[in-house]
Amino acid sequence: MVAHLSDFGIAKLLGEGENNAYTTTLGTLGYIAPEYGLEGSVSIKCDVYSYGIMLMEVFTRMTPSNEKFSGDLNLTSWINDSMPKAITQIIDSNLLVPEEHDTKKLRCLSSIMELALNCSMESVSERVDMKEVVTALKNIKFQLLA
């Protein structure tokens, strides 16, 4: 569970005033956005994708390259298929002790996984931007602490 620096900050390859660029693929499979891996297309949304995968990894303790994932099953589809009814089965068991299965904490964890899924949408146009991510995280924190 070690993120590599090259997996984040892809948008730094953009020149000033550029929204999109094309380059060769640098990064770790599983963390790079589909459009970057397939086409070499770089945008700010590539970093959003990587952030979503990292959120999933932190809260599930599963890497995108886990042996459990093969064929059509990957980290994103596993979480998507489990949401929201099986949140306790995908969240790292170290984060939830049995007596802590309260609805507020589970709601917050579900919200974090939903945000991670929204960050890692296949389509660039469907992906949230980082301003929305920050707002959502602040709302989740407020919800948890309220």
Structure tokens at 96: 């939830």
Host domain of residue 110 = 44-145
In a domain, 7, yes or no: no
Q: How far apart are CA 99 and CA 127, in angstroms?
A: 35
Q: Is residue 19 part of a domain?
A: no
Judge whether 37 lies within some domain.
no
Q: Per the domain annotation, does 74 fall within a domain?
A: yes
Residue 41, SS3?
strand
Question: CA 60, 65, 71, 74 torsion: positive or negative?
Answer: positive
Mean residue pLDDT across the chain: 79
Up-side HSE of residue 35: CA atoms within 13 Å toward CB? Answer: 21
Whether residue 75 contacts residue 64, with contact meaning beta carbons closer than 8 Å, is answered with yes
Give the residue from 67, 34, 73 showing the smallest Cα distance to 50: 34
β-pairing, 21-22 vs 41-42, is antiparallel
pLDDT tens sequence across 29-75: 566 777 666 566 667 787 888 899 999 999 999 988 888 888 888 89
Residue showing tokens 């309220």: 146
Cβ proximity of 107 and 84 under 8 Å: no
Any domain includes 39 = no
- Angle formed at CA 48 by CA 38 and CA 105, multiple of 5 degrees: 130
The answer to whether position 86 is within a domain reads yes
- 122 or 13, higher pLDDT: 122
In a domain, 61, yes or no: yes
Our count of domains for the chain comes to 1
The CATH number linked to 92 is: 1.10.510.10
Contact 51, 119 (CB under 8 A): yes
Residue 140: per-residue pLDDT: 94
In a domain, 92, yes or no: yes
Q: Is the pLDDT of residue 80 over 90?
A: yes
